[in-house]
A and B are shown apart, each in its own frame.
Chain A
Amino acid sequence: MKRWFRSPLFIYLPMKGKFLPIYLLLATLWLLGYGQLSAQYYHRLEADFTIKENINDSTSSLVIGKAFYDTYNQKLVYDLSFPAKEVWVFQDSLLYKESADTSSMRWSDPSAVIWSIYHLSLTNQLANFGLSDSLFEISNVEKEEDMVITTYSPLTPFDKFMGPIMLAKKGKLLDGIVFVDPQGRLVSKQFYRKYNTMGGLPFPGKMIQITYPEGTARYRITEFENVQFNQADHENWYNYPMPDPLDWSRENGPIAGAKPK
């Protein structure tokens, strides 16, 4: 037994003919590597979602639908069934809405797509909320209980307008985000729960956002079901046709909203 600890692993084991642990070790490493690689090749994601929100004591919002996102064309399509049957298509700087009898187009901020949970998940950026390559830099990392809390501070001169963002990770998964204003006052919190990991790619089943307008907590809970990656069955949704903006504006007048720069 003493020789086991004194001898280098790869010399001792062949000598005794116990190759099984090495095979197991190599197989595990290969599987882990394969999981990582296969996660990198996911480019499509679809999910059923429900968003519930209490706006105030008497007003609420309920949105039910299905989301389709493809990183290749960066097109995010919502097939909404409630409150109304509508299709929303986000691509580049445009949002195209279509229902049974009407359609509309307006300019939209591109961050709506690249900061969406679908894009962040497929591009393996969800764990750091896409803050690695942004206007923020890591200013502090600390371990508290079972969480690693990373503070991202805005770069100068944006620190005059934005406060730091704190990210809590449990293991490799994003657990929560806290937004504060430049004066350090709490603005918003987000929590990610019920993760499902498919082929090495984690995706939360529940997302809770808390804001504090007028001092009281307002909750927005998004639940995801039937999350599927790289589905080939719904080509028509992933490539949902969006009219050419020039043709659109010729027929319907100028596109609503202001064009993002």
Chain B
Amino acid sequence: MKIKATLLLIFSLLLSLSMTAAGGPGGKTSLFSFDEKEADAAVSHLTEIEQIVKEENLTLEELEANHTELLAEHTLLDSSMRGPMDELPGNIPPFVWGFCLGLIGVLIVYLVTDDNQQTQKSLLGCLVGSLVGGLIYGASALLTVQ
């Protein structure tokens, strides 16, 4: 009986070790998983527009004039608002830059995007981050006093 219990214990340990080594529950592999079909589905409405735009060599202005039905449910941004390089490193949202880096994050957003809306979002992140930091600091100070 003791042998059986010991073998069961060893087997359980080996199983848990192999699961960890293979990136089972809790492994980093899950961080690198995503549903590609879901990603494709999220932008599928743009594929039809892309085909028509390429076939007819249209600009957004021309598309809006000639294919109103394609834009009935979705608004497309123009390139003056967003472009291929108008993004922050790592595509991290401006709010997060402000929240995590404070004023440095706001400065980075301002320098990289030169976009007032983005900078405002990072500033909001900076304020929220400061408030949260202040609350945590205050709470910890109170607990220390008590």
Interface positions of A (Cβ within 8 A of B): 49-55, 58-65, 67, 76, 78, 80-86, 88, 90, 95, 106-109, 111-112, 115-116, 142, 144-145, 147, 149, 161-163, 165-166, 168, 175-179, 181-182, 186-191, 193, 208-211, 213, 217, 219-221, 256-258, 260
Contact = CB atoms under 8 A, between A and B. Distances in A.
Contacts of B43: 52-54, 60, 219, 221
Interface of B: 21-23, 27-29, 31-32, 34, 36, 38-40, 42-43, 45-47, 49-50, 53-54, 57-61, 73-80, 82-85, 89-93, 95-96, 100-102, 104-105, 110-112, 114
Contacts of B28: 142, 144, 149, 166, 168
Contacts of B57: 81
A260 B107 CA distance: 10
Contacts of B32: 147, 149, 166, 168, 175-176, 178, 189, 191
Given A62-B53, A147-B32, A256-B114, A52 B75 contact: no
B84 A65 contact: yes
A88 B85 contact: yes
B112 A60 contact: no
B58 A82 contact: yes
B84 A49 contact: yes
Nearest to B58: A82
Given A83-B79, A144-B28, A187 B59 contact: no
B85 A60 contact: no
Contacts of A52: 43, 46-47, 50
Contacts of B78: 83-84
A210 B34 contact: yes
Quick one: which of B47, B54, B92 has the most chain A CB within 10 A?
Answer: B92
24 contacts: A49-B84, A60-B43, A60-B45, A60-B74, A65-B84, A80-B84, A81-B53, A84-B60, A84-B61, A84-B79, A88-B84, A95-B85, A108-B114, A109-B112, A161-B105, A176-B32, A179-B92, A181-B100, A189-B32, A217-B42, A221-B40, A257-B111, A258-B110, A258-B114
Contacts of A190: 90-91
A107 B114 contact: yes
Contacts of B27: 144
